[in-house]
Structure 1
């Protein structure tokens, strides 16, 4: 399952005491940045790439949740979803601009005039190119191992991949007010072929569609460690071929200064999946860079590596807790500044002001 129920406090409870992929990678990049940001609550100025990284992912996932109609070839499928990319890029531009202009503190070296709708559309199309590789593989595999189940209206996964044409799945539906009175699904029904018919391109898209965070679900869609001390929110989970692959979407490219954090992030997700799925190892972990398009593959942690990561994560989590929860005082041994770590504003800020 790509998400679960918190072990305590209900699905809407949030706590900064849990170890997450973002807190882990920030801590590994710069402990001073982690302390100032996560413990003291000092915000750094907003950056345009930071905003676009979120809105571009939302735009891509919105298209993945769509259902194509009357498609008979890969070229037609590409034309259809690329047309949606242009529409989503325009909305992405408007949403991102609003977030940028409403930010109380922005990076002085960045200007919204440098953002291009065409560039946003290009990146969304690049993400679709990567997904279309999955769709084509699914088509060539005649739908993969789950085609028969889908055609019999029997879902092979306890948590299906969300689609605009289906009702969303909430971690705890009892907490959703007036669920039955709301209209959740758009008019995008799925029509399956007969039992012995070859797979269609529309079916291949439907089957290959990954699990993504459903924007209609207001509850956290996370995996929670059984002991409650770690949690993580996945980007994409591919399952169409009988394997489980975890994908993290990046709006930049592998030469980004943040690229070194990707393996730490994916290792954390693979470890968390193992801990929350009865010791099941995932079959693949990948980064999808929208500026390419480019896939980056990483070696999946084996059982020995998982044990090593457990020890490492518990140690880091313990050190985080030792810094205190809520309002805290500066520690006696203040973390040393980093050497221009990715995303670290405060170390550079301090050096500039000292100089």
Structure 2
């Protein structure tokens, strides 16, 4: 099966799986992986990235179409799949997939079959039909790619100039993919449909995960073009040879194959199955001359391992191939045997444990030791040129200006006093990001513990209680953890110590303004019969506000949240504004930050978010955090 959902008792979770993308980035440079996945620094998104999605999406839509149901000039939406939301892990991790509902409206069931005289009978005819479909699908995919790129706050480059130079080239890549697929169709005809052809003609033994063809997953009726006997026809071969691919209407990473133990995942481009055994082909919208070509054979080997491991280690892939559509050329990749797959497993599993399962990822464990940069000719052919060693890879790395190990690193701010307004010489004192430490340790007596539904949705329920530090000295405590580790003996009247909480300002109608201790992912609770020098006094428990001067590295906006990643010479931190446009306007005062801007942030509060410190805006009737360009 090309798709396998996580096990019901998922020991890893959706955000802690390893992928080839991460493993290969770590191979290229451990520090590069650290910058991306530990610090969360996102590189820019050039139009080239969007082009790849448009090419693959258009190619898949053509392969999904049927030449006996879809005319050459039909709209792109004619053969769209009905969709549904699926919780694949039982944890609320919803993905969008083709529908499995019995009442779903599938186009293959609703469209009238074209007259037999309109069915293509030879390669030139079906090529003409497929390329006409490609033009229509490509315009849709290109427009969608452009819209997504324009909405991406991390976009870099100029779409119009890119489109003028590369749009037709991208469409020609789709045509190249069509020709490669038609080679498969012709091979299928030569083999008279392969070992499952008679079952297909009878509408029997449809796979659990069928190739996207416009019909329901559980369809048991013969295809409209299926003949009752005789040699296979061209249109039958088109239907039979169709590979499995991610349905172009499905959501991102909705159709992944996940290792039975949950630690590895991948999403195949094309899986041909008509020969009776799986053959995996990967589509590249490129000519293959970049250094990425060095990692592609291992990507295909990882897919071969994933297929093997998701089939009880009983079924091996029989062919691996890369389609370099920009040349165009099909490149065969060495096929690993079982011993090779086990060696790959023995290398990737410890890497997963290190990268994804460690509680902490100290920077010194991810040195800036780049792999050599190799040169490739078109088609991913390794040349005889001597690899560039040392720090040569830094020249093309998106972190070259901020990485502490890069010889190209620029000087960044280190805190200190700086002007905040272009109209005033007054300065604010800024703290280096790496010195921000909002955590406190307190000891006191528990009072009135209770589970309380949380404002504003009142869906989550957290443990809340008061803690008395002395006469008239108390804090309201909120344990913002789903399953907090509460020590035995915790109850009203118990003396406890809370570590790594953050002091905030609270307000409730029955309490008025008060001090609150937020205890999130980093926080712990323990019984504390004796005091410690770590215990803070009540007088020192004051909500902190932070000023920093930094560079805007990237944006992380989400629904209801405006967010930016800031970086200085000592570290990085996310700054976020919740509450929609009204709140973000108050913070930005008309300023529209861009990547690379030098900024000054004044009056931010620190939060513990999933074990990482983030900075958050505070906006009230009398005060607002401010983010401004550095004068």
Q: Calculate the TM-score normalised by the size of structure 1.
A: 0.85
Partner-residue secondary structure (3-state), 2:321 = strand
Alpha-carbon displacement from aligned partner over 1:207-253 (angstroms, at most 9, x marks no partner) = 00000112344582121111111111111100111121111111002
Partner-residue secondary structure (3-state), 1:340 = helix
Q: Does 2:88 match 1:32?
A: no
In 2, Cα distance between equivalents of 1:238 and 1:341? 39
Q: Does 2:351 match 1:298?
A: no
Q: Does 2:194 match 1:144?
A: yes
Residues paired across the two proteins, number = 329
Q: Give 1:1-355 correspondences, 5 Å limit.
A: 1-8=1-8, 15-69=14-68, 70-108=119-157, 111-115=159-163, 116-155=166-205, 157-164=207-214, 166-167=215-216, 190-195=224-229, 197-218=230-251, 220-279=254-313, 280-321=315-356, 324=359, 331-336=363-368, 338=370, 339-340=392-393, 344-347=397-400, 350=403, 351=406, 352-354=408-410
Cα separation, partners in 2 of 1:59 and 1:145, compared to 1, 3 Å: same
**Larger Cα Rg: Structure 1 or Structure 2?**
2
- Tell me the CA shift for residue 7 of structure 1: 0.8
- Tell me the CA shift for residue 330 of structure 1: 5.0
Partner-residue secondary structure (3-state), 1:143 = coil
In 2, Cα distance between equivalents of 1:330 and 1:51? 34
Please give the root-mean-square deviation of Cα atoms over the aligned residues, in Å.
2.4
Q: Which runs of 5+ in 1 are unaligned?
A: 170-184
Q: Which runs of 5+ in 2 are unaligned?
A: 69-118, 371-391, 412-631
Answer whether contact 2:297 2:334 (CA < 8 A) is retained.
Answer: no
Answer whether contact 1:32 1:347 (CA < 8 A) is retained.
Answer: no
Where is the helix percentage greater, Structure 1 or Structure 2?
Answer: 1
Answer whether contact 1:30 1:341 (CA < 8 A) is retained.
Answer: no
Partner-residue secondary structure (3-state), 2:400 = helix
Cα separation, partners in 2 of 1:68 and 1:312, compared to 1, 3 Å: same
- Tell me the CA shift for residue 307 of structure 1: 1.3
Alpha-carbon displacement from aligned partner over 1:153-200 (angstroms, at most 9, x marks no partner) = 113533211112x1258xxxxxxxxxxxxxxx9xxx6321112x1111
- Tell me the CA shift for residue 254 of structure 1: 2.3
Partner-residue secondary structure (3-state), 1:211 = coil
Answer whether contact 2:54 2:138 (CA < 8 A) is retained.
Answer: no
In 2, Cα distance between equivalents of 1:299 and 1:217? 31
Higher relative contact order, structure no. (Cα contacts within 8 Å, ≥ 6 residues apart): 1
Answer whether contact 2:52 2:285 (CA < 8 A) is retained.
Answer: yes
Cα separation, partners in 2 of 1:59 and 1:2, compared to 1, 3 Å: same
Alpha-carbon displacement from aligned partner over 1:241-280 (angstroms, at most 9, x marks no partner) = 1121111111002222311121111111101111111212
In 2, Cα distance between equivalents of 1:345 and 1:87? 35
Partner-residue secondary structure (3-state), 2:292 = coil
Answer whether contact 1:211 1:236 (CA < 8 A) is retained.
Answer: yes
In 1, Cα distance between equivalents of 2:361 and 2:34? 11
Answer whether contact 2:209 2:217 (CA < 8 A) is retained.
Answer: no
In 2, Cα distance between equivalents of 1:144 and 1:204? 10
In 2, Cα distance between equivalents of 1:257 and 1:222? 26
Q: Calculate the TM-score normalised by the size of structure 2.
A: 0.49
- Tell me the CA shift for residue 329 of structure 1: 6.9
Partner-residue secondary structure (3-state), 2:363 = coil
